[in-house]
Structure 1
Amino acid sequence: LKFSVLHEFGGSRSFHLAALDGETMDYSEDYQDTWEEAGFGGSWHVGRNTNLYADVERSFGGNWNKKWQWNIGVNWQF
């Protein structure tokens, strides 16, 4: 099981777009925010040098929105 509280301390983005017909668009975003992530997973030893792993996590709170993230893999040591 895992639980994290994350905070973005800086970072922003802004841009101005202009089309040939004179239409314009301005956009800016400030990424300073705090959010939480919770997840669970495990690792399974399947051979002398081989492990399988899997985990899933979800974020909530703040403007950052990652609904679900799944990670599955194999770790082989030589």
Structure 2
Amino acid sequence: MGVIWLLIIGAAAGFLATRMMRVQASVPATIAIGMGGALIGGLVVRVLLSVMGVFAGLIGAVLGALLLIWLWQTYGPK
């Protein structure tokens, strides 16, 4: 169940992050960005999750995906 939840949150976070940063990415790349962001955001925002509930996980996932997109645009292939 955890992997399915990560895919769902990752897809939603990746979609939101790519739209917020105006990045054109394929569906697998969007999901991968969101999943990576969910992992990063989940680690960073674990304290918020206990305080604010489930929505903190989505917020953390989106923030993590935004960070990954920024890193990808800054240091990725040109």
Pick the TM interval, shorter chain: under 0.3
More strand by share: 1
Between the two structures, name the one with larger relative contact order (CA 8 Å, sep ≥ 6): 2
TM-score after normalising by structure 1: 0.23
More helix by share: 2
